[in-house]
Structure 1
Amino acid sequence: MKPSILTRNIRRGWQWCFQTWIAPSLRHTATLFLHWAASANDPSAASGKWKEKAMDDFSSWLAALPDTGPDGEPDPQACDLYTLLTEFAALRQEINLQTRQQRKTLRSQTELAEQFGRIGEQLDARIAHLDQIRDALCQGIEEKTAAAFFDIRDALVRGEKATRSVAGKRGFWRRAPKGIDTLAEGYAMARRRFDHALDQLGITPIVTTGRPFDATCMRAVDKRHVADSAPGIVIEEIAGGFIRAEKVLRTAEVVVNA
């Protein structure tokens, strides 16, 4: 039974609408979707603006279409159901392929970023370790260099002590040597400058005389009894001790009251 004229006209009208409006609309929508899938890493796409752009492009495309159809009647064989399904299957396969490729790329980028992060952490740890080694080396060099001058300070202290002792022995028949006070002050000035130089390195002399004996930073080399001093009090310093940040660089040699 042959279809009626009305049925053929309806079918032809549907085919014309499909070829003119529906099929191009589907292709254009698929193109927009592929464009979104390829640019998923774009910050503007990640923020959801791709939807607005896709709607604007689709609206512009619809506005550009002619209001009237092409001249002549459409060919009924131009687009059948098999061709439509084939194109949709190919489109789906292409979308799946693009999606898999995109996911693979994202995973690779994520793994690379994590690897760079781990390398950065290891590099920071290495740099911190090298800084510690450098600080330890500098500290050791400074301490060894300063230790070579500790005996010089001891000599300055002994010289100051001796000159002041001589200057203090004055009497009616005894006069102090000429210039002894100036010499004593010179020793004291040199000692103060020496202590200032040590202070720049964080090194300070250990105060011993008049204080209780401390075995952690002092070494008793002799004992004497002094009536006006309590037992265990340091009454004389033989060699000075030095400390840096609670680290004893040299123990002080002292005489303790028995």
Structure 2
Amino acid sequence: MPEKKKIKIGLLLQIVFAIALGIGCGYIFPEWLGRIFMTFNGLFSQFLGFLVPLIIVGFVTPAIADIGRKAGKVLVVTAAIAYGATIFAGFLSYFTSATTFPHLINPSPIDSGLKNAADLLPYFTVEIPPLMGVMTGLVISFMLGVGIAYLEGNTLRKCANEFRDIVAKVIKSIIIPLLPLYIFGIFLNMTVSGQVGDILATFFKVILVIFAMHIFILVLQYCVAALVVRRNPFKLLVTMLPAYFT
């Protein structure tokens, strides 16, 4: 008999399901069971914070090294473009938020909800401090990446590639599978503490504005890039949609 094909549920759908399940279970779970999930969330959050700098080092270092000996010049141009785009996006975000959010968000219900909130407490916590800060990780990645690009040996390059593979394996095997459970715990806690209604109403309004701004920025960036490479920006954007939606 032919093997049955396994139905794979995408990460985005898993997260949506986790949000709905977290809200529903928040009304029926006893406190002791909710605290188990809060304990998991505390551990997962600590591990995630520990992993972020390593993700930067693991992926940025070999990416810069693969550029080759022109890494230095390319990095200067890339950093200048990224800095200019960040400044533009920052001002756009500020003026958009200052214009729209005062009319969309009423802070009173949220404030009253937070004052009366009683969060679930974990049974225990474990601190996992990161080896370095995010900025330190970026500087080390740039330094190692440019250095590897200029060196003739392959020892550090091989180490960087293997470290990237290790980080990618951790993300694929631990972070992504457990992320829906982590989000489930967040919304479970919000429901138990009585915040979920006010927060979701505000969250939905904010997300709509953020989503519109994302689309505007992405289309603008791809149009500029398409002028350089002389290709259709929307065809280029379509290939990246799964990543952006995730």
TM-score by length of 2: 0.20
More helix by share: 2
Larger Rg: 1
Of structures 1 and 2, the one scoring higher in RCO (CA 8 A, sep 6+) is 2
TM-score by length of 1: 0.19
